[in-house]
Structure 1
């Protein structure tokens, strides 16, 4: 037995960020979402992620018709375009490599076609419609070993800029698991098909997806890496 047999876990980087998330939640209960789905399968100097583009396509097909979807896949992924689309996105999904810089946490980021989208880049963004961010990237919720009480990672940064609910990973994830886990989450959060996000369903769906991997015999490093932060 383990804790996952009895509880659904969700975490917060700090009380201050959690309060901000609760305030933002009141503003993000609507049916007119814009989803930015980013997939970078072949970043220069990094291993291929053959399932990243399939993950984004699957999510696109699962989302309600009322959600306006912007796909940015491989050649279409670049720093400037991604940052521009962030401004009015309410849902952001990043399927790419993540980079954790323990010497300079603010330089941690997402590996895109022409550079790294860093925490320092994200911290300056104002995203009024921010609702949900899914960071399907390695180490997107990995903190600094020397500063265990500080949430200096990509998932916390997404909460800081306004996303009240975030999914990340605490260590390298299995590329094959990405589409499976993501499908479970997005189906659950839009279960009634109305286009309104069911925030309570997000951590529960992540828990369900992780449990399925566990029941299938997956190594704990595959299913335990996923983490939900926020509300």
Structure 2
């Protein structure tokens, strides 16, 4: 799924749909809240390339920016969105906040609490288009059957020093979980 205002995300999703047989790409205009929930709710693999907005004051209102508005963590939680594996190519999607009582909240913990087995998420803002080639390498590894962490590790090795911006952006991604 590619959110609005990110030409690199649209290119990324188009390229990834050719790697995974049967993939249904949602491009800007089609990537509405309802369409996204419908496709990713119980998907084996979801790729979300969009703007992410962290609400540190109330992480359940952190959101992914879609074509018709925001998809909040609260709504994802309430509607049972839990793909088996998800790549969140969205700024700050890997940021978690801890609160009194030791509770940690953010996109990753919310997805895993709903049953998602593995997440790749960005801990910092990622410039649009900076990771397209690396995401293609990541998904090629996934298509070959590698777990997310191994596919991420392998894909990182494809990024050279000739593209420092891509390398720095790529290093913000972390794999969580066991899938």
- Per the normalisation by structure 2, the TM-score is 0.86
Select between 164-173 and 175-184 the one with higher mean Cα deviation.
Answer: 175-184
Runs of 4+ in 1 over 4 A off after TM superposition: none
Q: Structure 1 residue 187 and structure 2 residue 150: aligned?
A: no
Max Rg structure = 1
Candidates 189, 193, 198, aligned match of 2:146? 198
Within 5 Å, which residues of 2 pair with 1:23-172?
38-42=1-5, 49-63=6-20, 65=21, 68-126=22-80, 130-144=83-97, 150-172=103-125
Deviations 1:193-215 (A, max 9, x none): xxxx432xx21221233344353
Q: C-alpha distance in 1, partners of 2:106/2:160?
A: 26
Q: C-alpha distance in 1, partners of 2:110/2:143?
A: 25
Within 5 Å, which residues of 2 pair with 1:206-221?
206-213=152-159, 215-216=161-162, 218=164, 221=168
| Higher RCO by CA contacts (8 Å cutoff, separation 6 or greater) | 1
Gaps of 5+ in 2: none
Q: C-alpha distance in 1, partners of 2:81/2:121?
A: 19
Aligned residues: 177
User: Is the contact made by 2:55 and 2:62 (CA closer than 8 Å) also made in structure 1?
Assistant: yes
Query: Deviation at 1:175?
Result: 2.0
